[in-house]
A and B are shown apart, each in its own frame.
Chain A
Amino acid sequence: RKEVEQDPGPFNVPEGATVAFNCTYSNSASQSFFWYRQDCRKEPKLLMSVYSSGNEDGRFTAQLNRASQYISLLIRDSKLSDSATYLCGSGGATNKLIFGTGTLLAVQP
């Protein structure tokens, strides 16, 4: 079983829709969590850090559920420009950040 797992998608949604991704992690010692966005043939860029209390940045909301060991990303009012691959990352007691394989989002006009 992979340490961090994501549904690869693709998630095809119309503009304006709300879409949610989950990411499960198996290492209960994980202490830090992130969502990255990666455009085609580009490097990943940080979208959000995920805090225990959850956090929101405009149309994006990230949540952490330690009991069930998953993090989530909610995107409201999807834009065409949100089309990308979304990677979750989980860091534990070591200095290693483990990434999921990514979820592909395609927002349709």
Chain B
Amino acid sequence: DSGVTQTPKHLITATGQRVTLRCSPRSGDLSVYWYQQSLDQGLQFLIQYYNGEERAKGNILERFSAQQFPDLHSELNLSSLELGDSALYFCASSPRQGNQPQHFGDGTRLSIL
């Protein structure tokens, strides 16, 4: 058990809809990372937060947004969903910033119909 909790585990929705994915980091971890994993693109870094502030942005679409709350949990919002957004979305956490070991949740599998 990594200590990182992601909900929901599965999400099925239609094109054009909006969804929110939630992540609770491991106790004591201040950094939260979001990733998208698909068969054709591999594991893509989306965005990082540290202690409530955005720290780094990767290949995150403008239709996607995220935030980290004072209790350190994080949410990833995906809007105007397209078929190509179907993927596994992972949250990971680490105690600090920088390239250090990350603890991954088991992901949210998003299916767009």
Judge: A and B partners, yes or no. Answer: no
